[in-house]
Structure 1
Amino acid sequence: MSSIFTADLKGIVVPCPACGQKNRLPYERLAASGTCGKCEASLPLVNAPVEIPSTAVFNAVIAASPLPVLVDFWAEWCGPCKMLAPQLERVAMQEAGLSLIVKVNTEALPGLSAQYNIQGIPALLLFRNGKLVAEQAGAQPASAIRDFIYR
């Protein structure tokens, strides 16, 4: 998976579609689109799953996002994870500005898997206002994922 969006401790970094300048959308303002700091073009909403690079970034996203955050725990070798990926991409497009989908590679961040007692993958965890509110395991279609977000 390669998203054009990246996450850091302060927000999601979004490249400007007009000039390519990288702009940070603070987690607290992910529901609104911003403008490029260089050319003032409109920036897209986060409309693709975002890979989480560290536990610190994961904690920042969960704590600060006003949007529901759907976390996909996955691994490169996992067949069902590969089946789920395009469904998550579809949901991310449909849910831009309404929810945030992030991906945690269980091989890269095993501590997070242990913290949330992930026994099998893919595993989806849903956070609202910094709190875990629901868990679901297994690959599923985009419609079921959207239902899970709004349960």
Structure 2
Amino acid sequence: MPESLHIVCPNCQAVNRIPAARLGEGPRCGKCHQFLFTGTPVELDAAGFDKHVSRSDIPLLVDFWAPWCGPCKMMAPQFAQAARQLEPRVRLAKVDTEAEQSLGARFGIRSIPTLALFAHGRELARQPGAMGANDILRWVRQQLPL
């Protein structure tokens, strides 16, 4: 693991350099002074998504969902529970495919919910369908050396 990591703030989108050894110590953003990790998924628009994917040194797990989707609503608390367990090693985010149709089209999202895992600017894995928190954790751990 590198000595320091770039972490994008979920609040103001500023890029912060954090010593890797201090990642679990509740680091705050140098710009807005909010916590960089809150144990909850961050809602991303297209610009925020691009910044988190391209500038953050930790993996990004994205839930592509829509407000009208019943399985998406059922999975939301499970995804939030997974966020509490995976942060700060993985950032969890939600992308509303109704509001951000360009992202859904860009990644060829055909069914929702769909989880997509990104690291170092590229997609590593994808899993369609609603999942429980334990299944999400197991799937992420199969994809990443955590």
Superposition TM-score, scaled by structure 2 size = 0.78
15, 20, 28: which one aligns with 1:26: 15
How far off its partner does 1:150 sit? 1.8
CA deviation profile, 1:62-111 (whole Å, cap 9, x unmatched):
01121111000001110000011001110101112111110000000001
Q: Aligned ranges for residues 6-85 of structure 1 at < 5 Å?
A: 11-13=9-11, 26=15, 29=18, 32=23, 33-35=26-28, 43=35, 45-53=37-45, 55-85=46-76
- Of 68-77 and 141-150, deviating more is 141-150
Shift of the 36–62 alpha-carbon distance from structure 1 to 2, 3 Å rule, reads: closer
The alignment partner of 1:150 has SS state of helix
Cα distance in 2 for partners of 1:93, 1:30 equals: 21
Root mean square deviation of aligned Cα: 2.6
Name the aligned partner's letter for residue 83 of structure 1. M
Superposition TM-score, scaled by structure 1 size = 0.75
Name the aligned partner's letter for residue 60 of structure 2. V
The alignment partner of 2:10 has SS state of strand
Cα distance in 2 for partners of 1:76, 1:48 equals: 18
* 8 Å CA contact retained: 1:72, 1:123: yes
